[in-house]
């Protein structure tokens, strides 16, 4: 009889730790049990289809073809969008050229009209000069009055400038006060942050202590489990030794000594590891406490120093502010007094001059005002009539252009909707076909796993170590068969496969694929946005044209932009639909592999439960 190797103890410890493990028996022990194969029934349509897929070349409706067709649909959609954008840009360029021509013609007519008006005004001015030569001397006094008013305005400007300087000084002082208040608030916030860091450090220490306690408890559990397994192995060995002949007693004694030595060595290693873990934990906790204490002391010291400096600066600045405010108030009072005196003198002079010249100016102004008003009124009426006629002609032309632009926009939106419906229908058909194939594959695997579990349940009546070893060989063969089947299925699947992780999960690869898809979609959206912006810039034209359109009351530019935004929203919904479809296809592809790994894991767990039950029995 062979003794239990130490690898079984390590495998049991791996099982307790929750890791992936496989019990390996010596290669010299090899048992085989003839398994009756289940009589084959009539194959289903799904099985026949899978067999045909395994022997024949790939079907035309594979995942790669679906993805290729989706890409072709996206390319066609992009081509149609580019064509629509180019058409709109060309149409806008033509409309802009026509508008510029009409604008130039209108500008030429307006310039000619302005030249005629200017000529008439120059003639009127000549007549006015001839009429006003008689009273030029009277207006000389008016010029003197204007000079006096200019001097007064200059004095007012100087006074306002000085007043502005005082206001600026006051605002700078208030800004300094606000700055000091902000500094005090920041110091208070820093103090609160330091307190939060201290509390988090204490929480981290408590968490480290709890983790150390959990590690100690796990080590104790592992030691107890190892002792239990050792006792069970000793009982089995004693039963076997009693059944053996007397000639094998010496070999049994040697085997027991070896087991004792191995057990003592394992216990010594476990105790040494536990001691080293406790020492590392104590050193790490002490280092963390010292570092946190040093940081907090340094921060508190710096905070106190900063607070003292801030208090001193605040006192100095408050004193400076009070002195500046007092000086500014004094300057303001002096300026107000000077201004009041100047205003009084100017008022007296103005009253005298107004009384003397008022009567003469009224007579001359009435005569000249009547002549100028009549001429300006007639000229303005003629100018307004000409401008109104030109504006109406420009508006009518612009309305026609807007109607044509709306028609082209509606046609492009209808084409985009048709493309969207066609792509949605094709995607729905492709996803249905793919889901049906994957469902059939999963059902077949589940049926195979159920049959394997039934076979394992029939072997529950087997007793002894030989039956257990045979079960292990069967389990190994099943795993190898599943691996071969998995390799065949992966060869049948598309070239871009999602490989499983060491523990049977593919979440990391799924996340990477989703990130790549999102990045590609973002690049595509940014490219389309740049194209739309360029087209809109070409459509809007020069800044002079934009100002004229904005000034016109019948401008429909906002309506055109709103319709174009509706089109962009439809395109965005279509892009989101394609993105979701691609992610769903990847998830369904990975879901079949995950179900396969779950089934294999269930078979392994059932076999190990049977082995433990037989040992305890």
Residue with token string 């003292």: 308
Q: How confident is the model at residue 103 (pLDDT cuts 50, 70, 90)?
A: confident
What is the model's pLDDT at position 578? 54
How far is the C-alpha of 121 from the C-alpha of 376, rounded, in Å? Answer: 9
pLDDT higher than 70, residue 204? yes
The answer to whether the CB of 50 falls within 8 A of the CB of 441 is: yes
What was the pLDDT predicted at 388?
76
**How sure is the predictor about 5, in pLDDT bands with cuts at 50, 70 and 90?**
very low
Res. 435: pLDDT tops 70: yes
Above 70 in pLDDT, residue 151?
yes
* 299 Cβ neighbours under 8 A, 6+ residues apart: 190, 194
What value, to the nearest 5°, has the Cα angle with vertex 66 and ends 64 and 70? Answer: 115
Backbone angles phi, psi at 34, to 5 degrees: -70, 125
Radius of gyration of the chain from Cα atoms?
Answer: 48
Distance CA 487, CA 323 (A): 89
- DSSP label at 500? P
Residues 449-475: what's their mean pLDDT?
62
pLDDT of amino acid 348: 81
What average pLDDT does the segment 581-601 reach?
A: 48
Which of 135-144, 426-435, 603-612 has the weakest average pLDDT?
A: 603-612
Q: How confident is the model at residue 324 (pLDDT cuts 50, 70, 90)?
A: confident
607 CB-contact burial (10 Å; exposed 0-12 / middle 13-18 / buried 19+):
buried
Q: Measured at the alpha carbon of residue 414, what is the angle toward residues 411 and 420, in degrees to the nearest 5?
A: 145
Q: Are 47 and 445 in contact (CB under 8 A)?
A: no
pLDDT at 384 over 70: yes
Q: Cα(582)–Cα(516) distance, rounded to whole angstroms?
A: 11
Q: Which of 41-50, 430-439, 544-553 has the highest mean pLDDT?
A: 430-439
Confidence class of residue 160 from pLDDT cuts 50, 70 and 90? confident
Centroid of chain to Cα 472: 51
**Six-digit token string for 467:** 């039956």
Its sign, for the CA torsion 104, 107, 111, 112, is positive
The predicted pLDDT at position 532 comes to: 61
pLDDT digits (tens, 9 = 90+) for 467-493: 656 666 776 777 777 677 667 666 665
- Give the Cα-Cα-Cα angle 113, 115, 117 (nearest 5 degrees): 70
**Of 219-233, 510-524, 560-574, where does mean pLDDT reach its minimum?**
560-574
Give the span between the Cα atoms of 588 and 593, in whole angstroms. 9
Q: How confident is the model at residue 50 (pLDDT cuts 50, 70, 90)?
A: low
Q: Are 293 and 194 in contact (CB under 8 A)?
A: no
At 573, the pLDDT band (50, 70, 90 cuts) reads low
- The answer on pLDDT for 101 being more than 50 is yes
Q: DSSP of 127-186, one letter per residue?
A: HHHHHHGGGHHHHHHHHHHHHHHHHHHHHHHHHHHHHHHHHHHHHHHHHHHHHHHHHHHH
Q: Give the pLDDT band of residue 606 (cuts 50, 70, 90).
A: low
In the prediction, which pLDDT does 589 show? 45
Core vs surface per residue 139-177: b (16+ CB within 10 A) or e: eeeeeeeeeeeeeeeeeeeebeebeeebeebbeebeebe
The conformation of residue 61, written as its DSSP 8-state character, comes to T
Q: What is the pLDDT of residue 565?
A: 46
Beta-strand (E) ranges in 296-357? none
**233, 304, 189, 218: which is closest to 16 by C-alpha?**
218
Output DSSP code: residue 80: H
* Residues listed for the chain: 617
CA distances from 79 to 93, 416, 539, 568 (A): 21, 11, 21, 15
* 611 touches 232 (CB < 8 A): no
Q: 3-state class of 60 per DSSP?
A: coil
Residue with tokens 């220490």: 205
Cβ–Cβ under 8 Å, residues 504 and 594: yes
Max Cα–Cα distance, the chain, nearest Å: 159
Reading the block at residue 416, the tokens are: 């985009």
- The residue among 5 and 215 whose pLDDT is bigger is 215
471 within 8 A of 610, measured Cβ to Cβ = yes
pLDDT band at 616 (very low <50, low <70, confident <90, very high): low
Judge residue 379's burial from the number of C-beta atoms within 10 Å of its C-beta, 0-12 exposed, 13-18 middle, 19 or more buried. middle
CA dihedral 59, 61, 63, 69 (to 10 degrees): 130
d(CA 369, CA 383): 21
| Interatomic CA distance for residues 41 and 49, integer angstroms | 16
Mean pLDDT of all residues in 210-232: 79
Q: What is residue 246's predicted lDDT score, i.e. its pLDDT? A: 62
Give me the helices (H) in 541-556, please: 543-551
Residue 504, classed as helix, strand or coil, is: coil
Interval 110-128 mean pLDDT = 80
For residue 515, give Cα distances in angstroms to 11, 63, 221, 500, 510: 39, 20, 43, 18, 9
Tell which wins on pLDDT, 397 or 575.
397
Residue 575 confidence (pLDDT) above 70: no
Look at residues 367, 359, 361, 362 and name the one whose alpha carbon lies nearest to residue 128.
367
Mean pLDDT, rounded, for 395-424: 76
Report helix, strand or coil for 218.
helix
Look at residue 574 and give its three-state secondary structure. helix
Q: How confident is the model at residue 613 (pLDDT cuts 50, 70, 90)?
A: low
pTM: 0.20
Distance from C-alpha of 170 to C-alpha of 569, rounded to nearest angstrom? 53
Q: Reply yes or no on whether the pLDDT at 83 is more than 80.
A: yes
Question: Which DSSP state fits 26?
Answer: -
pLDDT confidence band for 31 (50 / 70 / 90): very low
Tokens (6 digits) for 591: 């879901």
Average pLDDT over residues 240-266: 71
Question: How high is the mean pLDDT of the chain?
Answer: 69
Q: Domain map of the chain by residue range?
A: 20-545+556-616
Question: Between residues 457 and 205, which one has the greater pLDDT?
Answer: 205
Average pLDDT over residues 13-21: 43
In terms of pLDDT, which residue wins out, 266 or 568?
Answer: 266
pLDDT in tens, 328-358: 777 777 777 777 787 777 778 777 777 777 7
Distance set, CA 408 to CA 416, 418, 529, 532 (Å): 12, 16, 20, 16
Distance from C-alpha of 53 to C-alpha of 490, rounded to nearest angstrom: 12
Cβ distance 572 to 420 under 8 Å?
no
pLDDT tens per residue across span 506-544: 444 556 666 776 777 677 677 767 766 665 555 444 444
Confidence at residue 212, expressed as pLDDT on a 0 to 100 scale: 73
With cut-offs at 50, 70 and 90, classify the pLDDT of residue 13. very low
CA distance 340 to 22: 105
Mean pLDDT on 241-263: 70
Per-residue pLDDT tens over the stretch 166-181: 778 777 777 777 887 8
């Amino acid at each position: 009889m062979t003794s239990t190797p130490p690898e079984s103890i390590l495998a049991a410890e791996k099982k307790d730790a929750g890791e992936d493990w496989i019990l390996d028996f010596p290669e010299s022990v090899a048992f085989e049990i003839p398994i009756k194969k289940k009589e084959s029934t009539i194959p289903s349509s799904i099985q026949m289809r899978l067999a045909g897929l395994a022997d024949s070349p790939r079907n035309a409706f594979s995942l790669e073809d679906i993805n290729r067709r989706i890409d072709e649909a996206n390319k066609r959609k992009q081509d149609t969008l580019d064509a629509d954008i180019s058409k709109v840009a060309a149409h806008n360029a033509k409309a802009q050229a026509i508008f510029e021509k009409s604008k130039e013609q209108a500008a030429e007519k307006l310039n000619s009209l302005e030249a005629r008006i200017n000529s008439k005004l120059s003639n009127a001015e000549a007549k006015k000069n001839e009429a006003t030569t008689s009273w030029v001397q009277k207006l000389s006094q008016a010029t003197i009055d204007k000079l006096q008013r200019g001097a007064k305005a200059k004095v007012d400007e100087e006074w306002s400038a000085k007043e502005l300087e005082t206001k600026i000084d006051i605002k700078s002082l208030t800004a300094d006060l606000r700055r000091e208040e902000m500094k005090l608030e920041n110091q208070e916030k820093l103090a609160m942050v330091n307190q939060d860091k201290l509390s988090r450090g204490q929480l981290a220490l408590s968490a480290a202590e709890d983790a150390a306690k959990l590690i100690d408890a796990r080590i104790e559990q592992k030691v107890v489990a190892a002792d239990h397994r050792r006792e069970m192995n000793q009982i089995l060995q004693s039963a076997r030794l009693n059944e053996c002949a007397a000639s094998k007693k010496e070999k049994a004694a040697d085997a027991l000594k070896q087991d004792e030595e191995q057990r003592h060595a394992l216990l010594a290693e476990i105790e040494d590891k536990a001691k080293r873990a406790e020492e590392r934990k104590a050193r790490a906790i002490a280092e963390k406490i010292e570092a946190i204490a040093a940081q907090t002391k340094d921060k508190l010291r710096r905070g106190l120093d900063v607070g003292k400096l801030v208090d001193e600066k605040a006192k100095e600045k408050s004193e400076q502010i009070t002195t500046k405010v007092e000086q500014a108030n004094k300057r303001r009072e002096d300026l107000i007094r000077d201004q009041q005196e100047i205003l009084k003198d100017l008022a007296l002079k103005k009253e005298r001059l107004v009384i003397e010249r008022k009567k003469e100016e009224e007579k001359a102004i009435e005569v000249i005002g009547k002549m100028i008003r009549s001429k300006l009124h007639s000229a303005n009426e003629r100018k307004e009539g000409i401008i109104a006629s030109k504006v109406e002609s420009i508006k009518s032309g612009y309305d026609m252009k807007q109607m044509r632009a709306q028609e082209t926009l509606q046609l492009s939106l209808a084409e985009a909707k048709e493309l969207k419906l066609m792509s949605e229908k094709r995607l729905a058909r492709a996803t249905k076909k793919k889901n049906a194939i994957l469902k059939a594959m999963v059902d077949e695997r589940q049926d195979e796993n159920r049959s394997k579990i039934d076979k394992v349940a029939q072997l529950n009546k087997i007793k002894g170590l030989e039956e257990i070893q045979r079960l292990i060989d069967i389990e190994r063969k099943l795993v190898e068969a599943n691996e071969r089947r998995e390799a065949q299925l992966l060869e049948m699947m598309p070239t871009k496969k999602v490989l499983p992780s060491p523990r049977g999960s593919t979440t990391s690869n799924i996340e990477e694929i989703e990130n790549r898809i999102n990045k590609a979609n973002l690049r595509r959206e940014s490219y389309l946005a740049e194209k739309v912006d360029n087209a809109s810039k070409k459509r809007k034209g020069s800044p002079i044209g934009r100002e004229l359109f904005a000034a016109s009351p019948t401008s429909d530019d906002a309506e055109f932009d709103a319709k174009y935004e509706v089109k962009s929203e439809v395109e965005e919904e279509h892009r989101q639909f394609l993105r979701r479809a691609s992610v769903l296809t990847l998830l369904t592809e990975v879901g079949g592999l995950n179900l396969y790994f779950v089934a294999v894991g269930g078979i392994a767990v059932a076999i190990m439960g049977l082995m433990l039950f037989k040992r305890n029995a």
